[in-house]
């Protein structure tokens, strides 16, 4: 797949510091990262290394303490919470480990929800929801509720919700973490198919089985990008 020359995402010198009354925690320190349109990037590293913090910043759920973030040519690091929410609703699709479906809404309504926030007409919403559910093979479950679905089916609904608005980038935080190996493999296969269709994907995972699905790996250790997986380091 041909990739765009200019990066879709560019982080430069990004740091994130969390403060409590007695402790200052450096979750990220001087992170530089570029992701081009059409890439499939896996972000790996041990627990507590800053993977989820990095994904939260990429997804505009949080802002860096220092550094710059340019998304599709626009600086977004210093946007207000309301501005971040507007950009996020149109540019970014999220897939979470815990699915985050709303139990009182059926499959159609869960997938439709992000489109409602855009004020989109009902007919256009319906067409996009049917298209997204068709891509994940769940049109036959359109009026079922999350409690009536298996874990693998719930995650496929979550994928449909993430792609329904045709975002610039898909961000997945341990999307197989709550699934058995068979359903996990199916979800990763689905992400691979979306990438083959042109989606830009960044996935956080600790599972080495799924790192191989990505075209490029980024490894974190103690909040910094390192050239190789810290899990591969030889013990002296």
- For residue 117, the model assigns a pLDDT of 84
Interval 204-230 mean pLDDT: 84
Beta strands in the chain (DSSP E): 9-19, 24-35, 40-44, 66-71, 74-75, 92-96, 169-173, 201-204, 216-221, 224-226
How confident is residue 21, by pLDDT bands cut at 50, 70 and 90?
A: confident
Domain 39-61+80-227 grouped into CATH 3.60.20.10: no
Q: Is the per-residue pLDDT at 211 higher than 80?
A: no
Residue of 6 and 33 predicted with greater confidence: 33
Tell me the pLDDT of the chain averaged across its residues. Answer: 90
- For residue 149, the model assigns a pLDDT of 96
User: Distances in Å between the alpha carbon of 31 and those of 27, 51, 69, 218, 232?
Assistant: 11, 11, 10, 11, 21
User: Residue holding tokens 């507007």?
Assistant: 86
Sheet with strand 92-96: strands edge to edge: 92-96, 169-173, 201-204, 40-44, 216-221, 224-226
For the stretch 31-82, pLDDT in tens is 999 999 999 999 988 888 999 999 999 999 999 999 999 999 999 999 999 9
Burial level of 195, CB count in 10 A (0-12/13-18/19+)?
Answer: buried
User: Distances in Å between the alpha carbon of 8 and those of 1, 36, 50, 196?
Assistant: 15, 5, 21, 17
Interval 127-146 mean pLDDT: 95
For the stretch 151-172, pLDDT in tens is 999 999 999 999 999 999 999 9
How confident is residue 133, by pLDDT bands cut at 50, 70 and 90?
A: very high
CB of 90 within 8 A of CB of 117?
Answer: no
- For residue 4, the model assigns a pLDDT of 53
CB of 32 within 8 A of CB of 150?
Answer: no
- For residue 236, the model assigns a pLDDT of 34
């Amino acid at each position: 797949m041909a990739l765009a020359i200019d990066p879709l995402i560019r982080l430069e010198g990004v740091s994130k510091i969390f403060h409590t009354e007695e402790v200052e925690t450096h979750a990220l320190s001087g992170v530089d990262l570029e992701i081009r349109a059409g890439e499939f990037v896996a972000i790996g590293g041990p627990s507590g290394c800053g993977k989820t913090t990095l994904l939260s910043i990429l997804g505009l759920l949080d802002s860096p303490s220092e550094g710059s973030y340019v998304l599709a040519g626009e600086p977004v690091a210093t946007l207000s919470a309301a501005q971040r929410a507007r950009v996020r609703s149109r540019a970014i699709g999220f897939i979470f480990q815990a699915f985050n479906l709303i139990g009182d809404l059926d499959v159609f309504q869960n997938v439709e929800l992000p489109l409602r926030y855009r004020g989109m007409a009902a007919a256009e919403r319906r067409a996009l929801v049917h298209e997204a559910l068709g891509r994940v093979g769940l049109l036959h479950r359109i009026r079922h509720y999350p409690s009536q679905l298996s874990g693998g089916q719930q995650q496929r609904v979550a994928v449909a919700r993430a792609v329904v608005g045709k975002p610039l980038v898909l961000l997945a935080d341990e999307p197989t973490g709550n699934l058995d190996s068979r359903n996990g493999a199916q979800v990763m296969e689905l992400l691979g198919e979306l990438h083959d269709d042109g989606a830009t994907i960044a996935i956080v995972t600790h599972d080495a089985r799924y790192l191989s699905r990505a075209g490029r790996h980024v490894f974190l250790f103690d909040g910094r990008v390192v050239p190789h997986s810290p899990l591969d380091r030889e013990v002296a």
